[in-house]
Every structure is written in structure tokens, then in C-alpha cells.
Amino acid sequence: MKRLTMDNLDQMGMYDLAHNCCYASEGKARYRDFETDIDAREFARNLMVAYGKWKSCEEHGLDADNEMVDDEIFDGAMLDNLMYEPTEIEGLIALFYRNLWGMADLREVLKYYEDADERRNLLYSLPCAIGDTVYTNTAMQGWYLRKENRPYEAKVVFIGINGVDNFMNVEFEGGQMLQFNFSRIGKEVFLTREEAEAALEEMNHE
């Protein structure tokens, strides 16, 4: 899967920018496009000045106790403004501000995992999930009780990842359990019935 997070704005197209327009720098959320790079809080302040109840607020002689100056007070005001409907300008700006820092947080978490995967291959794509149905030809396991010319169904109940012999534990009808290393997928255990039936047919013709 193509990674979504990028740092170099010059290498981004419109699709890339959609996933990277909000990011975090020095613990603060920021918004960027091809012409702008601005603190998310400052962006929201500018919108409140231009369109909200603080329109033309530069005329009001603001001080540090005002929501348009103090960051903590401003954040509290934006939280209160979420009570407005997004059809009202204060509610719309508050919703926009919340989405800015929310997207920035999510983008940084995703970037961490994508960077880690590229550096050390930390992410592992599992061939199946707990609860999936898999199929095995039980004769391959040396069992004597088996369905004639039909593979057994089993439910994946546990997956173990240890970096060496990744494995799954599967449970058959009646509660019998087996363990298969992932390296045995396609050989002793199959992810689809069709694969298991084809292997069983080949085994019967040997």
C-alpha cells in the first residue's frame, strides 16, 4: 500500500495534500497548502476576526485576558462554540478548528507507523485474522479420522507473532486444536476451500 504521509510540500499533489494539509510541529497543530503554512489556532483566530463575533476585533483594544489573545481561553471558547450549529459561523469555525488539530494528531500517528515500517519493517501483513475459516487436508497431518475427499474446516483462534516462526492456532469441530506456522500456508493449511480441494485432488492422484 502506498504511504499517505509526506513532508516535502514540493512533492505533493492535491491528493497528497489532502492527507498532509494538517500536521504537528513543536507540539502545535498547523495547516498548510501550496501558499500557506499557519498555526491552526491562528488560522481559526483569523476566521473569527474576519467572519465571527470578533469581526474587526482589532478595534476593541484586546489584552491577554481575551479569548482572541490567550490560547487557553481561546480553546475554551472554541469548545463552547461547538454547541452552535455548523450553519452558524461560530459553530462552523469551531468545527473547522477541531478538525484541524484532530487531523494533525491522526496524521502524526500514521506518519510514525509508516516511518517505522520503512526503517525496520515493523508492520506485518497477516495472511488471516482471528475468527477466519481456514481449510486443511487432515491426511497431511497423519490423522486417521478424516472426511472422505473433503478438506476440514477450522476456525483461527489465535495468531502468534514472534519474528521467527509466526503461527496460527486453529480449532476444529469438536474442539480439537492444531498449530500451523505461516510457512505451511498453501502446503498444509489453506485460506480458501478451493485451494484445499485442489491440493487434496493432487494428493489423491499421487
7-21, 107-121, 132-146: least confidently modelled range: 132-146
- Could you tell me the CA-to-CA distances from 121 to 81, 111, 161, 204 in Å, in that order? 43, 14, 14, 40
Helix H or strand E segment including 22: strand 22-25
What pLDDT does 30 receive? 97
Q: In this structure, what DSSP letter does residue 185 have?
A: B
What pLDDT does 138 receive? 64
**Closest by Cα among 21, 7, 9, 90 to 50:** 90
Mean pLDDT of 117-126: 68
Same domain, yes or no: 139 and 97: no
**Closest by Cα among 68, 121, 75, 67 to 98:** 75
Same domain, yes or no: 115 and 170: no
Would you tell me how many other CB atoms lie within 10 Å of the CB of residue 140?
Answer: 16
Q: Is the pLDDT at 186 greater than 50, yes or no?
A: yes
- Read off the pLDDT band of 109 (50, 70, 90): very high
Total structural domains in the chain?
2
Q: What is the pLDDT of residues 35-67, one digit of tens each?
A: 999 999 999 988 988 887 765 555 555 555 666
Residue at 127 is within a domain: no
Same domain, yes or no: 35 and 95: yes
Q: What is the pLDDT of residues 125-156, one digit of tens each?
A: 778 889 999 998 765 444 444 556 678 888 99
Mean pLDDT of 151-168: 83
Mean pLDDT of 7-29: 93
Looking at 56, 90, 120, the residue that finishes a domain is: 120
Residue at 3 is within a domain: no
Same domain, yes or no: 26 and 101: yes
Q: Is the pLDDT at 182 greater than 80, yes or no?
A: yes
* Total-model pTM: 0.57
Same domain, yes or no: 108 and 31: yes
Same domain, yes or no: 18 and 108: yes
Residue at 106 is within a domain: yes
CB of 20 closer than 8 Å to CB of 30: no
Pick the more confident residue, 77 or 67: 77
> Residue 37's domain spans which residues?
9-120
What pLDDT does 142 receive? 47
